[in-house]
Structures are given as structure tokens and as C-alpha cells.
Structure 1
Amino acid sequence: MTVGAGVAAATAYALPANQPPERFYRGGEQIARLRGVGRAQPRTPEDWVGSATTLFGEASLGRTVLPGGTTLAAAIEADPVGWLGEQHVQAFGADPALLVKLLDAGQRLPVHAHPDVPFARQHLGLGHGKTEAWLFLEPADVALGFSRDIAADELARWVEHQDVDAMLGAMHTLRARAGDAVLVPAGTPHAIGEGALLVELQEPTDLSILMEWRDFAIDGATDGHLGLGFDTALAAVERHGMTASQVEALRSATAATTGELLPAAASFFRAERTRGSATWDAGYSVVVCTSGEATMTSETGRSLRIARGSTILTAHACGVWDVKAQPGFEAIRCRPPAS
């Protein structure tokens, strides 16, 4: 039977790594260790898990290919209700409205920001911006938000002259711990620190405005402004200063938190941490196992073993999942926005 007949949507998949090659920053070894697959290829710091999204400017790179050769995007388009559920389709159509990545910062990432929905709609004709959230598996310092108001001409001057010290000197430092969940609203300037390993949830786009590219393997002057020019692109950056307490408030969960990790982000995406056996309601989701192992059994009879480093894609048509865990099991279930 075909994908459109609902067969693919009535099951679930254990997904292999999906790591676009030759990214402009280093990383990948921590993802390889998490997945237990040996050494990483050079410059593969991102694993696009259950992705119906392409890299910016690419026709297909970044999209998940399911067993049998069908892309996830095509499978969802053929059976949106089976994959996403009727309520989601009524709200968002055949758009899963979610992108999940594993990210391994083998070096500090450059200072950058992502546009919000109104900017992306006006300037790029897109329905999503790129609000994101970080679920830390390994600790790291991150530069997050400006600590004072920054004038437009000052920001433009920093970017033109690549005055990285001035940029970083005007930003807060958040010391993220393993287990923390941090929400990053679109527009917020940020730079993830070296050593971070995280599960990243985001709106399903690859829209980044680079303010820093010195010492990175990218021509930021050409490729850092989404083809809009910096005069336009930098208008998407939030230049208002944040207080230290406002930055701290973006940390919505810690290692002690189970259940919902991102309560303020439900209009963009949802994430739940499970420890031990559980029952998961029906729904499209990307599951990342961070420790231990368990057996997942759906009400349609599909059974999957999930262990540390596993990434599982589930469709709404699978129904309710019964998760029988071994000691030490922990997983993060990433889901689309509430509909």
C-alpha cells in the first residue's frame, strides 16, 4: 500500500543520524558518542532529527529520508491527518511546525540572531520565523541578549568591522547546566559556548542573521544576511537591553524538572522530559533518549526499543504509547505547538 493509504503514518521510525556535512563551525564528536556510532565526520555539529525542513537555500539537504526512500515532508503531505492529527491540520495544514536538532558546539558559535514571524513573512514570504529553545545535555556558557540598549548604527558598525569583543562585551552570559531548558525568542542575539551538547527545538526554518563570522568557515559578508542586505537584516535583531533577571527567566527548567519543560513556548513547540515508565498520548513527536533504555508499544501494536542516543519519530495515528522503562531511562519528547 502507498504512504497516502496511511500505512506509514500508522507506525513509527527509529531514525539514523541526519548530519549535513561541512558546516561552518566544528563539532560532531559528542553526537557520535551519544549515538554510539564511533568517530564523527568533520564539521557535522548538527543532527536534523525528523526534519521536513531544508537548509537555507538548499532544495533537499537537511530533510529526513524515511526507510524506502520517501522524505518525511512528502510522507506528511500525502497523509497529513495520519501523521499530525486532525486538530493540528486544521490549525497548520500539512506543516509539522517543528524542527528538532542535536547540536554539538565543538567551538563557540558566532553571535547571531533569528527573525520573528512578521519579519520572515514580510521579507522572505515565509510563515515561520525562528524562535528556538535549548535543552542542555552538557553544560556551557552562552552569550544571550544585550545588557544595554544598542543603537542601530552601533550594531551596524560592529558587524561591518567585525568588532567581536564589543559585541560579546555588551551581552549577558548565562551559565547553562546539564538539564537546563532555555527559551530563545526570535530576534534575541546569542552565541552558544564551546562544549555544549543540546537538543534544540525550533520553528521549522534555517534563518540566521550573522553578526560575527571572523575566524569561521563562512563568508558572512555575503551569506550572513539571508540575501536581504545587512541594512534590512539587522532590523530583525532585538537591540533593547535586557536585565540579568530577564535573561535568567528564559531558563524554564532544570535537571530536576520532569514533564513539561517549556511552558511559555507552547505556541511554538513543546518538550516533555520522561524518567521511568510512562504513558504518552497520541501525537506527532520526535523522541530523544538521553539515558537508559525502554520499550515503546503503541496501541496499534508497533513496538520499538529505545536506548541512549536513539531518536524516534512517531505519528499521531500510532495512538497512545505505553513506555516500559529499565532503570535509568530518560527521554525528551519534542512536539509541535499546541493546536
Structure 2
Amino acid sequence: MTTAARAWILPANQPPARFYAGGERIAAFRGTGPAQPHTPEDWVGSVTTLFGHDRLGLSTLADSTLLADAVRAHPVSWLGADHVARYGDDPAVLVKLLDAGQRLPVHVHPDVPFAQRHLGLGHGKTEAWIFLEPAPVWLGFVRDVSREEVRSWVRDQDVDAMLGAMHRLQPAAGDAVLVPAGTPHAIGRGALVVELQEPTDLSVLMEWKDFAIDGVRDGHLGLGFDVALEALDRRGRELIEVASWRESSAEDDGALLPGAAEFFRAERLRGDSRCDAGFSVLVVADGEGVLVPAHGPEIPVRRGVTLLTPHAAGDLSLEDRGGLEVLRCRPPAA
């Protein structure tokens, strides 16, 4: 049986020594032992590496095969013929668990045109958060800001001015929030989120004071801040527009984040459910049950388990054994 003929339970994949605190909530969610310090991210089903690294961030299957190698060897089986025709052997999505052990710094991710022009990449980093445990977030500017003002904030590390110029939202557990590329943002301390994003590790830091990183050296993707800060959307936005990026649908089943469909797809599944075939990452948000793929063995699941389903595993069924809730994360439609 090839790696693409069955679903896989994925172990934690937490890059060490990140520059911000966290990891305890991921360990509690997964039901594992004490967390290592500064392991606030779990890269789930990843064929993406950390910026500047050749291997760190890549997921390994239970048979010790790198997922990236498995997908390259059998792209149609893993991703489906329609996906391969459009994206090649690129799964075109990255999923993480993110545990904000402290408020994350204000930062911004480039969009596709910026990433193509300055970094030679085919993806930017639009992302979205689905909150398992909520905390405040800062998202977008309340008014237009000039290049000179932004550069002075970054140069002087004027964090109060940055946060004061941004909208502050308070998501609830289960809410989904879209973060378009170019939007300045920060996640508050205490959040545990399932994060979907374009498959890159591209961040431009606006803030690094009191964090374990040399932002002057490492905060600009090697481009220098004069270039890197051009990735920032400096427009002011009305609160009603920013609030529209938040989908308060914790009690609803079905598709989440319809505004993100060109970048990734997500859906919430509760109770007994059926899904069509396709490459996907499943995060069991609550309860317990059984995953029954059309091909390959049944897999008991419970809160905190993450799974990967290749296209060749066929249609999927989820059988509820008590309070089952699953988040299914997928690439954009081909």
C-alpha cells in the first residue's frame, strides 16, 4: 500500500526555539506531555519550510517518509488530477496550530504580486484563524497612514502608536477570521487557533521590542525595510469592513471562510458526516469518533488528533462517538 492509499494520523511537528512564547496550549489540546519552551506552532501536514531553512517545518509520516517526498512521488494520488493540472505537486495550503503564549508582534505578510516580484515565489501569505481558545486580535488600520509614519514607528519601535492605529476585535471560540495579505495584524496572548494560510513563511516584522529576535537583521525577509514595508496595506478601513472578515459561526456546520476560497477552504463537521475525496488536513476540535475512508483502515479519533487524507483514500465518513467536531482544511478548488 502506497503512502497515498490511506489516511494518516500526524504527530506534532513543532519547530523549536521560536522567537515568541507558547506551546502549553498545543500540548494540552493534543494531550501530550509538557511542552518544550517556545514551541508555539505545530505545522500540520506541511510541505513548507521555515523561511531560510531547507528542512525545518516539513512533516514526516509515521513510516518516516517526508510528506513532501511522498507527494512528489505520487502527486495525482495525493492531490487529485484536477489539482495537479492547476498547481502541479504543490498542495497549495499550509495548516498550523498556533498557541500565543504572549501577544504576537505587529507584522504583515506579502501578497502574491509582492512575493513574485521580490522573492520569486508563486504564493504570498493570506491567512485565516479559526479560534479554539479566543483572545483579542488587532487587524488593519483605522485610518490612512503614511510611509514616513510607518517607518518612524518601526525605527523607534513605537508599539503603542502601532496598536493604537489598528482595529481591535474580540473573537469568540469557534469564530473564523480572514487576514488578507498586506493587512497589519497581531494575535493576543492566550489564543489557540487553527491557522490556514498560503504555503509560505513570509513575515515582515513591524515590532520586535521585547521579543527574542533581532528585527533589524531578520525582520525584513532580507529585502531591507524600505522594500519590505511596501508589502503593507496602509489604507484605513472602516470597522464594518474589518468586522466582515470575522465569521461568527461557532454554532453552524459546513463551509467557513467563503471569502478565502481562492486561497484555501475550511469546513466545520459535527456528528456523523460525509466528505468527498480530496487532500485535506483534519483537526479534531472536540469529542471522539471514527474516520472511515473509502480506502484504507478506519481510524479512531479524539480531541487534539490531526490527520491527513490523500485524494486516493476516497470519500470519507466520520462516525460520532460523542460530541465529535472536526475542522477540515483544504487547498483552493482546482
Q: Aligned ranges for residues 16-31 of structure 1 at < 5 Å? A: 16-31=11-26
- Residue 51 of structure 1 is matched in structure 2 by 46
Identity %: 63
2:238 matched to 1:246?
no
Q: Tell me, which stretches of 5 or more residues in structure 2 are unaligned?
A: none
The amino acid across from 1:56 in the alignment is F
- Residue 285 of structure 1 is matched in structure 2 by 280
1:260 aligned residue (237, 255, 271)? 255
- Residue 272 of structure 1 is matched in structure 2 by 267
SS at match of 2:136: strand
- Residue 75 of structure 2 is matched in structure 1 by 80
**Alpha-carbon distance between aligned partners in 2 of 1:44 and 1:136, rounded to the nearest angstrom:** 18
**Alpha-carbon distance between aligned partners in 2 of 1:233 and 1:298, rounded to the nearest angstrom:** 44
Give CA deviations for 1:225-274 in whole Å, capped at 9, x if unaligned: 00000000000001000111011000124211210011111110000000
Give CA deviations for 1:53-81 in whole Å, capped at 9, x if unaligned: 00000010000011232211111011000
- Residue 4 of structure 1 is matched in structure 2 by none
SS at match of 2:42: strand
- Residue 190 of structure 2 is matched in structure 1 by 195
2:146 matched to 1:151?
yes
Preserved contact between residue 5 and residue 310 of structure 2 (Cα < 8 Å): yes
Give CA deviations for 1:170-201 in whole Å, capped at 9, x if unaligned: 00001111000000000000000000000000
1:169 aligned residue (164, 173, 188)? 164
Q: How many residues align?
A: 334
- Residue 223 of structure 2 is matched in structure 1 by 228
1:120 aligned residue (104, 108, 115)? 115
Q: Aligned ranges for residues 128-139 of structure 1 at < 5 Å? A: 128-139=123-134
Preserved contact between residue 283 and residue 314 of structure 1 (Cα < 8 Å): yes
Preserved contact between residue 253 and residue 262 of structure 1 (Cα < 8 Å): no
Following superposition, the deviation at residue 39 of structure 1 comes to 1.1
The amino acid across from 1:92 in the alignment is Y
Q: Tell me, which stretches of 5 or more residues in structure 1 are unaligned?
A: 2-6
Following superposition, the deviation at residue 280 of structure 1 comes to 1.0
SS at match of 1:140: coil
Q: What stretches of structure 1 move > 4 A for 4+ residues in a row? A: none
**Alpha-carbon distance between aligned partners in 1 of 2:248 and 2:320, rounded to the nearest angstrom:** 23
Following superposition, the deviation at residue 297 of structure 1 comes to 1.2
The amino acid across from 2:282 in the alignment is V
**Alpha-carbon distance between aligned partners in 1 of 2:21 and 2:286, rounded to the nearest angstrom:** 25
**Alpha-carbon distance between aligned partners in 2 of 1:40 and 1:303, rounded to the nearest angstrom:** 29
Following superposition, the deviation at residue 276 of structure 1 comes to 0.1
Report the CA distance shift for 1:253/1:338 in structure 2 as closer, same or farther (over 3 A): farther
The amino acid across from 1:272 in the alignment is E
How large is the Cα RMSD of the aligned pairs?
Answer: 0.8
Give CA deviations for 1:134-183 in whole Å, capped at 9, x if unaligned: 00001110010000000011101110110111101100001111000000
1:295 aligned residue (269, 272, 290)? 290
Q: Aligned ranges for residues 298-337 of structure 1 at < 5 Å? A: 298-337=293-332
TM-score (norm 2): 0.99
Q: Aligned ranges for residues 179-194 of structure 1 at < 5 Å? A: 179-194=174-189
**Alpha-carbon distance between aligned partners in 1 of 2:297 and 2:119, rounded to the nearest angstrom:** 41
